[in-house]
Every structure is written in C-alpha cells, then in structure tokens.
Amino acid sequence: MPVNIIVCVKQILDPEIPSRDFRVDAEQREAVRGAANLVTNIFCENALETALQLKEKSGGKITVISYGADSTEDALRKALAMKADAAIHILNDGQAHPDPLSVAQVLAAAIRKLGEFDVVMLGRESGDWGVGQTAGLLAEELGVAAVAFVDKVEIGADGLQLKRQTDVGYERVAATMPLVISITNDEHNVPRIPKTRDVMMSFRQPLTKWTLEDLGVNAAEVRAGNHYYAVVDLFIPVQELNCEFVDGDTLEARVEKFAQRIIEVTGSM
C-alpha cells in the first residue's frame, strides 16, 4: 500500500559549535550566528529517515516541506539527496521569531495546497528552541489525530503500527491515516548519509518555492508572529563550580551532613 508521506523539516544553528563560541543577543532575544553553520535539525532528519524506511517497505512518495529563510534550500537539497521525492520551500521573508502556532498554520496551508496526504512526520522538537509544539498544533490545524514521540513506524492491518516512547517505557499504537506523528530518535532511525552521486543530483532537481501569499494565509498576521507565545528573556546560564568538603567523625555523620547539604543547596524536600 503506497503511503503519501509529508516530512516537515527545520534548519537550525549547528548545535555542535564549541560552547564558548555560542553567544546570544539578549536584546533581540536570539542566538548570534557568528561562525556557526546551519544544519538540519537532527529530529527532523530522524523523521525523514523514518519516512524513507517506511517508503522502502510500502512504496509511495515523500514530500519535504520547510518554512525558513533562503538558506533553508540547503536543508531541502540534503533531503532530496537522501532520496525524498520532492521538496517545497516556503520562504520566510522576515518573520523574526516564528512561533509554533504560526509555523503550524503555514505548514498546514502548504499541506492543504498539496492536496491529499496519508501521514505527516515532524521531528519531536527542534535543537535550537526546543519548544516541541509544532506537531500537535499542525494536527489541530489539519483536523487529524497526532501521535507524539514515535520511534518506529510500520505498516499495520488498516493503518500504521507506531511505537512511541513514554516516560516509563513504550506504547504500541495502531493508527489510521491520515495523521500527524512526531518522531524521536532511536537506533533504527539514525539518518543515512546521502550518496555523493545523489548529493550532486540533488542540485539538478527542481525545488518548489512558495511565498506566504501563495498559500493564501494571512501573511501579515503570520509575519507579525507571537501567537500565544513570547520569548521573554534569553541568556546563557552561568555555570558555577564550588567544591565543598563535608566533615564529621563517623561515616554516618558525614553521610547525614552530606544529605543535609544537598537539601540546602538544591532547595528540595
């Protein structure tokens, strides 16, 4: 049964840069790019990998969508190199802090414009802001069900068999399509390295570009952003290292004192 899959990806600042190179602009409340590169968010790559594996078994089609600045094209080309079938770039032409709701609205509009779909896969959260709400909001916008923290997707009897991680273990979910799932990482969905030939081919493949106007969303409202979501403050936490020895005559006394200090310092219990 061929599955029509849509994968949404996001380009973020390379999270692997040395921490001492990382700066934030407290005023603008955003990270300073500096010398850092832009990469595809790792959970989005896990989602694409999951989609690719599903398609290998079921057949079908993978369309990758991203809402972002011009540079987002690189992330989409990489997705094509990994063997996604089509890529759509929705140009973000100036929304400074895309919030989860407006992003979900934009993505939903694009997906509606595409027409039919069976499943939309997103990363569980992005490596820059880590809000993790887009998948849920997108399902809401599209009016379909959502399953979060999925690490395995298989074809089931009449839909998909999903395995999702929970705080205490995992759950198996039988889901009917269409639906939205958010993907978390697992040893089985480590993103593949594209073949060089495919990387080169990706530059020759067409890439659909849409503007907000093309989608029929209220562009002005989207650009204004900050729907129910505001970054109030942005700072790099200062790490302080203090070394303190507890003393006491007996082991019991020292352990007692040690526990006491932990409670005092962490302010817990």
Partner 1 sequence: MMNPELATREVFWNIPHSLVWVMYLMFVASMAVAAYGIYRRVQIWRRGLSAKRFDRPLERLKLLLKHSAAQQRTVREKYAAIFHTFIYTGFIVLALATTVVAIEYDLGLPVMQGRFYLYFQSFIVDVFGVLVLIGVGIALYRRAIVKPRKLVYTDEATLILTAIFLMALTGFLVEGWRIGATDEVWGKWSPFGYLLAQASAAMLSRNAMRAAHFGAWWTHAVLVFGFIAWSPFTKMAHVVFAPLNIYTASLRPTGAALKNLDIEKAMESGAPLGVKSLAQFTWKDLADFDACTECGRCTGVCPAHTVGKELSPRDIILDLQKFMHANPRAAFGLPNGNSSNGNSANGGDQAASRKPQAASEALPIIGALAATSPAALWQCTTCGACMEACPVFIEQMPKIVDMRRFLVMEEADFPDTMADAVTSMETRGHPFKGTQSTRVDWTEGLQVQTMAEAKDAEVLFWVGCGGALIERNQKTVRATAQLLHKAGVKFAILGREEKCTGDPARRIGNEFLFEMLAKENTEKLNHYGVKKIITSCPHCFNTFRNEYPQYGGEYEVFHHSEYLAKLVDEGRLAPLEKNDKKITFHDPCYLGRHNGVFDAPRQLVQIAARNAPIEMAQSRENGFCCGGGGGMSFIDEPKDQRVNQERARQILATGADIVAVGCPFCTTMLEDGINARKGDRDVRVMDVAELLWQAVQDSTTNGANKN
* Cis status, amide bond into 206, omega within 30 of 0: no
Residue 35 in contact with partner 1, rule: CB under 8 A: yes
The CB-of-36 to partner 1 minimum distance in angstroms stands at 9
Distance CA 101, CA 242 (A): 42
Site for partner 1, residues 43 to 72, rule: CB under 8 A: none
- Judged by CB under 8 A, the residue of 14, 30, 73, 85 near partner 1 is 14
- Judged by CB under 8 A, the residue of 115, 187, 196, 266 near partner 1 is 196
DSSP 250: S
Beta bridge partners of 136: none
Residue 21 in contact with partner 1, rule: CB under 8 A: yes
CB 162 within 8 A of CB 153: yes
Residue 241 in contact with partner 1, rule: CB under 8 A: no
The CB-of-84 to partner 1 minimum distance in angstroms stands at 15
Using alpha carbons, list the distances in angstroms from residue 86 to 71, 80, 172. 17, 7, 30
The CB-of-41 to partner 1 minimum distance in angstroms stands at 13
With residue 179 as reference, give the H or E element that holds it. strand 179-183
- Residue 20 or 239 with smaller CB distance to partner 1: 20
Read off the amino acid at residue 151: D
Residue 37 in contact with partner 1, rule: CB under 8 A: yes
Tokens for 26, please give them.
């407290």
- The DSSP code sequence of 57-96 is HH-EEEEEEEEE-TTHHHHHHHHHHTT-SEEEEEE--S-S
- Judged by CB under 8 A, the residue of 39, 65, 142, 212 near partner 1 is 39
Torsion of the alpha carbons at 130, 131, 133 and 134, rounded to the nearest 10 = -60
Residue 20 in contact with partner 1, rule: CB under 8 A: yes
- Residue 34 or 216 with smaller CB distance to partner 1: 34
Q: Which stretch binds partner 1 (CB under 8 A): 59-67, 145-153, 192-200, 220-228?
A: 192-200
Sites of contact with partner 1 (CB under 8 A)? 14, 16-21, 35, 37, 39, 190, 192-197, 199-201
